[in-house]
């Protein structure tokens, strides 16, 4: 798909469909009035009919009269005062999804109604709308089915209509948005693929081919080397499966190299290709969803590739511990005491609290490789999904200044996080072990969400943020702006965070 920015008026643009964003009560003065007039009064008639009231992301397809476009697609964006960056991405995605199964090759979006309201104006809207269309075109039905043609249309051209704006500048931003969207979609496909398809080895192969394609350094550590290095926690989870574990390490820039902010940033993603719970086996209800438990890893792998595309050479380390958590004759047993890469003895009281184990060794390894700032991202707890649902991810971290930096990246990305406290007193429960330094699961699981983060904190010594995406990583139901399955969430946040340190 090509993205083209034109400074023409929306009624002059030739396209299969022209998308018109509607915020609040449609204001039928100015350019929208002119558009309405040339459409033969369609917009006004629909407004009077009550069609333009309702929920955000509702779409109405109608005829275009004398307009250059062949059809109009009106997309509701809610009250103008509530418009944020996430909403722009999702409106564009909803528009593209609404056209599923339709022969649309050229899609135009009129940016002005959004640019007039959103902070950052047309620049911001060009990038976010372009990203939204790409994300909206994502269709997981094609992963395992052939000849499926009812998905969102494969566009030849996306035309961003921005009268009076600098088309060249907006074009660059729109391209940035397209690449961001493609990165999120890559993370989604890796994540959506099932566990019989994507084992730790296959995930490592995928990372390898991305590294070759985008000129990233890569190292893949198998079980023998991992054991030799002392990655006891990583191996404790990985050893239970016939599919051997892989510690995937990718890097842009040189070893230990500092970015423009003086950081050697590491992003570390949980890669549990399937989480049965291990010996502490899960109930069968929804266990199938646990193929999504590798989403953190898929996100950091895709983010590394996106950073390499947008600002090659920007220092960034991505570490993705990939395992299958399975019961079997070689599995770790509850009560096993295992030595972590950082030397601590962990009493594994519950083999289903496996994400924190592999993250602990991966974070230690990232520090050994020179990381000065660490962000881990994981589908870590069911508790975060119960607390915050599927639209807001949980965040923990220290010091606050680094949490703020990650939140600022999240704001630019249009992604939502809510910070939760590292309640010091609860750490006592995590020390309540027979003979180890720390347990991975406290018998008193009250505050289990906080305790999961407190566990990880024991394995970092540098500025660190933990993002729990167990709620946001995938949708259980299809919505106007996304199909069920992986959402690609947090990919943009990680890319923005890394690019904050890019040299101009």
Q: Is 379 near ligand BES (CB under 6 A)?
A: yes
> How many amino acids of this chain bind Zn ion (CB under 5 A)?
4
Q: How many helices (H) and strands (E) does the chain have?
A: 16, 20
Q: Is 355 near ligand BES (CB under 6 A)?
A: yes
Options 12-20, 89-97, 348-356, 488-496: segment touching Zn ion (CB under 5 A) = 348-356
> 289 vs 432, which CB is nearer to ligand BES?
289
Widest pairwise Cα distance in the chain: 79
Options 34-42, 135-143, 227-235, 379-387: segment touching ligand BES (CB under 6 A) = 379-387
> 362 vs 380, which CB is nearer to ligand BES?
380
> 394 vs 414, which CB is nearer to Mn ion?
394
Q: Is 324 near Mn ion (CB under 5 A)?
A: no
Distance of alpha carbon 348 from alpha carbon 370, whole angstroms: 28
Q: Is 139 near ligand BES (CB under 6 A)?
A: no
Q: Is 471 near Zn ion (CB under 5 A)?
A: no
When CB distances are held under 5 to 8 angstroms depending on the partner's kind, the choice from ligand BES, Mn ion, Zn ion, none that residue 332 binds is none
Binding-site member from 16, 42, 352, 361 for Mn ion (CB under 5 A) = 352
Question: For the window 26-65, what string marks contact with Mn ion as x by the rule CB under 5 A?
Answer: ----------------------------------------
Query: Would residue 282 show up in a list of annotated catalytic residues for this protein?
Result: yes
Q: Is 217 helix (H, G, I), strand (E, B) or coil?
A: strand
Options 151-159, 246-254, 351-359, 455-463: segment touching ligand BES (CB under 6 A) = 351-359
Q: Is 259 near Mn ion (CB under 5 A)?
A: no
Q: Is 354 near ligand BES (CB under 6 A)?
A: yes
When CB distances are held under 5 to 8 angstroms depending on the partner's kind, the choice from ligand BES, Mn ion, Zn ion, none that residue 135 binds is none
Binding residues among 237-276 for Zn ion as defined by CB under 5 A: 272, 275
Taking the complex as a whole, the smallest distance from the CB of residue 286 to ligand BES amounts, in Å, to: 7
Residue nearest to ligand BES (CB): 382
Q: How many CA atoms lie within 13 A of 98 on its CB side?
A: 24
Taking the complex as a whole, the smallest distance from the CB of residue 131 to ligand BES amounts, in Å, to: 25
- Note whether 265 and 501 are within 8 A (CB): yes
CB-based contacts of 404-409 (< 8 A; 24+ apart in sequence): 405/497, 405/500, 406/375, 406/465, 406/467, 406/493, 406/497, 408/500, 409/493, 409/494, 409/496, 409/497, 409/500
Binding residues among 293-312 for ligand BES as defined by CB under 6 A: 293
From the CA atom positions of the chain, what is the Rg in Å? 24
Distance of alpha carbon 354 from alpha carbon 241, whole angstroms: 13
Options 73-81, 167-175, 267-275, 448-456: segment touching Mn ion (CB under 5 A) = 267-275
Q: Is 236 near ligand BES (CB under 6 A)?
A: no
Instruction: Kindly state the helix (H) or strand (E) to which residue 491 belongs, with its residue range.
Output: helix 491-499
- Note whether 483 and 139 are within 8 A (CB): yes
| Bridge partners, 15 (sequence order) | 69
Give Cα 49 distance to the centre of its chain. 38
Which of 14, 44, 102, 282 is labelled catalytic? 282
When CB distances are held under 5 to 8 angstroms depending on the partner's kind, the choice from ligand BES, Mn ion, Zn ion, none that residue 350 binds is ligand BES
- Note whether 305 and 186 are within 8 A (CB): yes
Distance of alpha carbon 447 from alpha carbon 369, whole angstroms: 33
Q: Which residues contact 229 (CB under 8 A, 6 or more apart)?
A: 221, 341, 365
> 293 vs 367, which CB is nearer to Zn ion?
293
Question: For the window 353-382, what string marks contact with Mn ion as x by the rule CB under 5 A?
Answer: -x----------------------------
Taking the complex as a whole, the smallest distance from the CB of residue 276 to Mn ion amounts, in Å, to: 8
Q: Is 381 near ligand BES (CB under 6 A)?
A: yes
Q: At what angle do helices 448-457 and 355-368 cross, to 10 degrees?
A: 30
DSSP state of 201: H
> 16 vs 354, which CB is nearer to Mn ion?
354
Distance of alpha carbon 265 from alpha carbon 496, whole angstroms: 12
CB-based contacts of 206-213 (< 8 A; 24+ apart in sequence): 206/301, 207/248, 207/250, 207/301, 207/320, 210/186, 210/250, 210/301, 210/302, 210/304, 210/305, 211/250, 213/305
Q: Is 327 helix (H, G, I), strand (E, B) or coil?
A: coil
What spatial distance separates the first Cα and last Cα of the chain, rounded to whole Å? 27
Which of 356, 412, 416, 451 is labelled catalytic? 356
When CB distances are held under 5 to 8 angstroms depending on the partner's kind, the choice from Zn ion, Mn ion, ligand BES, none that residue 450 binds is none
Question: For the window 411-450, what string marks contact with ligand BES as x by the rule CB under 6 A?
Answer: ------------------------------x------x--
Strand ranges in 270-383 using DSSP code E only, listed in sequence order: 271-275, 316-325, 336-339, 345-348, 373-378
**Two structure tokens written together for 358:** 């592999």
Q: Is 352 near ligand BES (CB under 6 A)?
A: yes
Options 150-158, 211-219, 247-255, 353-361: segment touching ligand BES (CB under 6 A) = 353-361
Q: Is 353 near ligand BES (CB under 6 A)?
A: yes
Any idea which residues carry the catalytic annotation?
A: 282, 356
Residues forming contacts to ligand BES in the complex (CB under 6 A) are 275, 289, 293, 350, 352-355, 379-383, 385, 441, 448, 470
Contact residues: Mn ion, CB under 5 A:
275, 352, 354
Judged by the rule CB under 5 A, the positions of this chain that interact with Zn ion are 272, 275, 293, 355
């Amino acid at each position: 798909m090509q993205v083209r920015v034109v400074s023409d008026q929306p009624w002059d643009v030739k396209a299969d469909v022209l998308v018109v964003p509607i915020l609040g009560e449609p204001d039928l003065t100015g350019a929208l009035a002119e558009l309405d007039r040339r459409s033969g009064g369609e917009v006004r008639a629909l407004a009077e009919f009550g069609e333009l009231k309702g929920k955000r992301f509702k779409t109405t397809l109608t005829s275009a009269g004398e307009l250059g476009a062949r059809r109009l697609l009106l997309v509701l964006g809610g009250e103008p005062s509530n418009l944020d960056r996430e909403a722009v991405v999702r409106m564009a995605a909803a528009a593209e999804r609404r056209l599923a199964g339709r022969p649309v090759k050229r899609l135009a979006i009129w940016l002005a109604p959004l640019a007039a309201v959103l902070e950052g104006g047309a620049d911001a809207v060009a990038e976010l709308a372009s990203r939204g269309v790409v994300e909206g075109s994502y269709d997981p039905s094609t992963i395992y089915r052939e000849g499926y043609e009812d998905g969102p249309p494969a566009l030849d051209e996306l035309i961003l209509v921005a009268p009076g704006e600098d088309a060249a500048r907006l074009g660059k931003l729109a391209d940035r948005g397209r690449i961001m969207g493609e990165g999120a979609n890559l993370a989604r496909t890796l994540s959506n693929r099932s566990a019989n398809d994507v084992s730790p080895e296959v995930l490592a192969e995928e990372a390898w081919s991305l590294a070759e394609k985008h000129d990233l350094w890569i190292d893949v550590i198998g079980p023998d080397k991992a054991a030799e290095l002392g990655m006891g926690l990583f191996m404790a989870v990985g050893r239970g499966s016939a599919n051997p574990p892989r510690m995937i390490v990718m890097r842009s820039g040189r070893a230990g190299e500092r970015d423009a902010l003086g950081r050697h940033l590491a992003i570390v993603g949980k890669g549990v290709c399937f989480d049965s719970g291990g010996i502490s086996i899960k109930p069968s209800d929804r266990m199938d969803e646990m193929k999504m438990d590798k989403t953190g890893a898929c996100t950091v792998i895709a983010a590394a590739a996106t950073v390499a595309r947008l600002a090659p050479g920007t220092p960034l380390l991505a570490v993705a511990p990939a395992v299958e958590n399975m019961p079997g004759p070689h599995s770790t047993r509850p009560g096993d005491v295992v030595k972590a890469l950082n030397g601590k003895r962990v009493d594994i009281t519950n083999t289903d609290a496996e994400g924190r184990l592999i993250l602990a060794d991966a974070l230690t390894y990232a520090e050994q490789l020179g990381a000065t700032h660490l962000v881990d991202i994981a589908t870590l707890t069911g508790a975060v999904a119960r607390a915050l649902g599927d639209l807001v991810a949980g965040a923990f971290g220290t010091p606050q200044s680094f949490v703020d930096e990650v939140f600022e990246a999240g704001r630019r990305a249009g992604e939502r996080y809510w910070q939760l406290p590292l309640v010091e007193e609860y750490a006592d429960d995590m020390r309540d072990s027979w003979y180890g330094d720390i347990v991975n699961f406290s018998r008193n699981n009250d505050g289990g969400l906080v305790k999961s983060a407190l566990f990880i904190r024991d394995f970092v010594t540098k500025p660190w943020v933990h993002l729990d995406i167990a709620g946001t990583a995938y949708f259980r139901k299809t919505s106007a702006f996304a199909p069920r399955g992986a959402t690609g969430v947090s990919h943009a946040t990680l890319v923005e965070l890394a690019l904050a340190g890019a040299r101009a």
